[in-house]
Structure 1
Amino acid sequence: MRWDVSTLCLGLRDTAPIFFILTNTRALPPEAANAVTKEVCQNLKLALNTEAIEDFLVVSRSDSTLRGHYPIETDVIAQELGNFDAHFLVPAFFEGGRITRDSVHYLIIDGVPTPVSETEFAKDSVFGYRYSYLPKYVEEKTNGCIPEKSIERFLLADIRSDSQARLMKLTNNQCCVVDGEIQKDLDMFARDVLATASRGKKFLFRSAASILTALAALPPQKIAAEKMAVYVRQGSTGVIIVGSYVRNTNQQLEKLLQAEGLCGIEVDVSKLLNGENILKDLIELTLAMVYQAHAEGKTSVIYTSRRELTFPGVEARLEFGSQVSNVLTKIVRRLPHDIGFLISKGGITSNDILSKGLDLTSVQLLGQILAGCSVVITPDDHSTFPNLPIVLFPGNVGSSDALASVYQQLIKH
């Protein structure tokens, strides 16, 4: 959650084959995203030199159904860490129902592969786009600087055979888009990438999660998903925070609130439009209900109001998002200290809860409780919430009953 040189050195020295630097740039305007990414890269160069590490891969892991600061982040990484032979767009995220076939990115909705340009994500007020065909997407996002016809396409037939000879020919940060229908596809592609990188080629990735599984070759997690309840502190009462407002999250929230042992607490964020004066009242009211539910042995479900508001522009939309995040992080800081677990629903929400709400510098990943949903645990010397298990649940991951299922898993005795 920090990117000073000493913290990055901790990540590089860890025995894990992969570490994440959480910058939360998707919540920032373009200029700030550029500046943060540049600072991370400059500090990472210093950390790599300090640890005498020359063999590494860089992934811009910021894809959220093609929403994010592309090509800003990959451009900055290329400028600062430089001389890449190619950068690959690999948005397939199998746990999230997302595949790429013939360079077209699909989201599987009710069993039907749907081009992502036809989904709610393409209409995002900040990161909207018109194309599911990735070469056209790149051309659109780069304002024509990378023309559609200049892009190398790695199709299913290519990656299911052998891509090494082709990978060796890539130079000058060539833009490539990569298919993937199942994890084995990306496992094969990663094998060829790693073999080629060992022969001196330097690659950059812009991706969702699935290619990371292949590149890092992670071993099985120590505690199986169905047994994650062993990490719950002092019983089963916890807190669930839902910030994401995409349709999938709304459906999951509706199902969750039907479960027993819960207290739903809506935070009407539209009141924030009335000015800062309402902020304190909103927080105090929410916390009063949380403590009452906790005293009654119930898990609180704190969720932001579901109606999406309209704003005059991108800057205003991002600023309001920052205000909402500020409310949630202030609530997290003052939660009952003896809660058993925390579930955070939404990518930006989760990042802010870890870095701001819990003021964590770094955190260890324990594994996944559900495909696409990671579990982390706070350090045993945390001043307020030591050894607290936290489920990081992306907004667009899982079936309609997935959030309720994770809750049920954690309250198993």
Structure 2
Amino acid sequence: MTAKPKIIVLDDDPTGSQTVHSCLLLLQWDVETLRLGLKDASPIFFILTNTRALTPREAETVTREVCRNLKQAITVEGIADFLVVSRSDSTLRGHYPIETDAIAQELGPFDAHFLIPAFFEGGRITRQGTHYLSTNDVDTPVHQTEFAQDSVFSYHHSYLPDYVAEKTQGRIPADQVQVFSLDAIRAGSHQRLMALTGNTCCAVDGEQQSDLDRFAQDVLQAAAQGKRFLFRSAASILTALAALPPQPVDPQHMNTYVRQGHPGVVLVGSHVQKSTQQLYILLQAPGVTGIEVDLVKWHQDDTSDETRHHLLQSTLEQAHTAHSQGQTAVIYTSRQELTFADSQTRLNFGKQVSALLMDIVRSLPADLGFLISKGGITSNDTLSQGLALRTARLLGQILPGCSIVRTPDSHPQFPGLPVVLFPGNVGDEDGLVTVYRRLAWESTGA
């Protein structure tokens, strides 16, 4: 049997590992750190670029830097076979085609790049080239959801060929995008894959994991015969490509990772509607203390240093008091919608808010039992800045689509701390309280 290629994932926020386990997440991308990922026993590793939080120019710069360092690391390690995945949002937000263009120029040429946004754990499916958000057996085209109205990454089409034409401003016309339909995938795609050349753009259907499992088999067979492919995808295709066995500890028993049964902290930065619904249900649970970070006042005060200092000190005082009383502090940013002059101003304020939250993380109680981070950008910053990690080991999923990692035992402040990376738009209304209960029941009886 042909050895499987190494699967290298450039993840634009830290939640793309939400369907796999036991692999490395890299928070840095110097050549030596990248070599750690290439040498690791797992068939897959993730480079957390966090580009979804960056401007288009910054996203391109970071992506090119990663790719150039990757090229060196691959050469040093003598890696002959690899697949590159630009992992992004299952609701089509992100810097497309900026990132795939940069990867193609730095690591190409590729015979094709595949758009595979299906993410079954989150109810995202693709049928006849159209991408849907499926809730309670109702399939809504994603351009009709709140995600398409994103102030930075808005779009107008759920039919992927039209989405590509929109995002590439006509450089790739809709009629040049090949659609791999469900019927075609289930019948087998190997011959068609072998015929692709010139970085052809392809949209791939998927209604259930078995669809992408079949497609991945054909992809790997074609790759073994010399075809070079690039992927722009959500997480479910990664499950298929990596083909891992079940995770070592099942979700119901992950409280075994909690440090000495101590209470934890939940940090909620995401503002999507689902996150807010989950937050309000969590705040009603026993054993939690809600602490609101008032962004409205800070925004109205033109993000003054004095207001920031007061917010930081007040939040930390409440968090430490809750912890000393055996409560899990739920620290959340105010839910009101703020208005900004333009997307750049919004991004800049987002960075300031994240910096404040990371100052909070760095000053949390030293004997913290666990940390739950809600929101993709918040989670990335928690790992890379708040906890200052170089790498983290993914333990698995505590909820479908919701990863848990652990800091190294050598961490100077929080050794062996379990950290949940909870995407903003994943889980039902009880998702956040379910994760809390799975970790906190020992200390709270919840």
Instruction: Please name the residue that 1:276 is paired with.
Output: 304
Q: How does 1:256-335 map to 2 (within 5 A)?
A: 256-273=282-299, 274=301, 275-277=303-305, 278-335=307-364
Matched, 1:24 2:50: yes
TM-score, scaled to structure 1: 0.99
Instruction: Please name the residue that 1:389 is paired with.
Output: 418
Deviations along 1:112-156, one digit per CA (max 9) or x if unpaired, are: 110000000000000000000000000000000000000110000
Q: How does 1:176-325 map to 2 (within 5 A)?
A: 176-273=202-299, 274=301, 275-277=303-305, 278-325=307-354
Task: Please state how far the C-alpha of 1:270 moved relative to its aligned partner.
Answer: 2.3
Matched residue type, 1:317: R
SS in 2 for 1:41: helix
| Deviation larger for 173-182 or 110-119 | 110-119
Distance (Å, rounded) in 2 between the aligned partners of 1:123 and 1:404 = 28
Q: How does 1:3-402 map to 2 (within 5 A)?
A: 3-273=29-299, 274=301, 275-277=303-305, 278-402=307-431
Task: Please state how far the C-alpha of 1:276 moved relative to its aligned partner.
Answer: 3.3
Q: 2:262–2:367: 8 Å Cα contact kept in structure 1?
A: no
| Deviation larger for 104-113 or 325-334 | 104-113
Distance (Å, rounded) in 1 between the aligned partners of 2:319 and 2:424 = 23
Task: Please state how far the C-alpha of 1:14 moved relative to its aligned partner.
Answer: 0.5
Q: 1:87–1:174: 8 Å Cα contact kept in structure 2?
A: yes
Fraction of identical pairs, as percent: 63
Instruction: Please name the residue that 2:15 is paired with.
Output: none
Task: Please state how far the C-alpha of 1:66 moved relative to its aligned partner.
Answer: 0.3
Task: Please state how far the C-alpha of 1:271 moved relative to its aligned partner.
Answer: 2.9
Q: 1:248–1:395: 8 Å Cα contact kept in structure 2?
A: yes
Deviations along 1:342-391, one digit per CA (max 9) or x if unpaired, are: 00000000000000000000000000011000010000010000000011
Q: 2:178–2:201: 8 Å Cα contact kept in structure 1?
A: yes
Q: Please, which of 375, 398, 409 is the counterpart of residue 438 of structure 2?
A: 409
Q: 2:288–2:330: 8 Å Cα contact kept in structure 1?
A: yes
Distance (Å, rounded) in 2 between the aligned partners of 1:270 and 1:199 = 57
TM-score, scaled to structure 2: 0.92
Q: 2:60–2:99: 8 Å Cα contact kept in structure 1?
A: yes
Matched residue type, 1:276: S
Distance (Å, rounded) in 2 between the aligned partners of 1:110 and 1:384 = 43
Gaps of 5+ in 1: none
Task: Please state how far the C-alpha of 1:218 moved relative to its aligned partner.
Answer: 1.3
Matched residue type, 1:209: A
SS in 2 for 1:36: helix
Distance (Å, rounded) in 2 between the aligned partners of 1:351 and 1:111 = 32
Task: Please state how far the C-alpha of 1:64 moved relative to its aligned partner.
Answer: 4.4
The runs of 4+ residues in structure 1 deviating greater than 3 Å are none
Q: How many residues align?
A: 413
Task: Please state how far the C-alpha of 1:25 moved relative to its aligned partner.
Answer: 0.5
Distance (Å, rounded) in 2 between the aligned partners of 1:190 and 1:236 = 42
Task: Please state how far the C-alpha of 1:294 moved relative to its aligned partner.
Answer: 0.5
Deviations along 1:204-244, one digit per CA (max 9) or x if unpaired, are: 00000000000011121111111100000011400000000
| Deviation larger for 307-316 or 391-400 | 307-316
Distance (Å, rounded) in 1 between the aligned partners of 2:178 and 2:218 = 16
Instruction: Please name the residue that 2:6 is paired with.
Output: none
Distance (Å, rounded) in 2 between the aligned partners of 1:314 and 1:411 = 38
CA RMSD of aligned residues (A): 0.8
Q: 1:240–1:300: 8 Å Cα contact kept in structure 2?
A: yes
Q: 2:90–2:124: 8 Å Cα contact kept in structure 1?
A: no
Matched residue type, 2:76: T
Distance (Å, rounded) in 1 between the aligned partners of 2:130 and 2:122 = 16
Q: 1:100–1:181: 8 Å Cα contact kept in structure 2?
A: yes
Distance (Å, rounded) in 2 between the aligned partners of 1:289 and 1:412 = 22
Matched residue type, 1:69: H
Q: 1:93–1:209: 8 Å Cα contact kept in structure 2?
A: yes
Distance (Å, rounded) in 1 between the aligned partners of 2:353 and 2:430 = 26
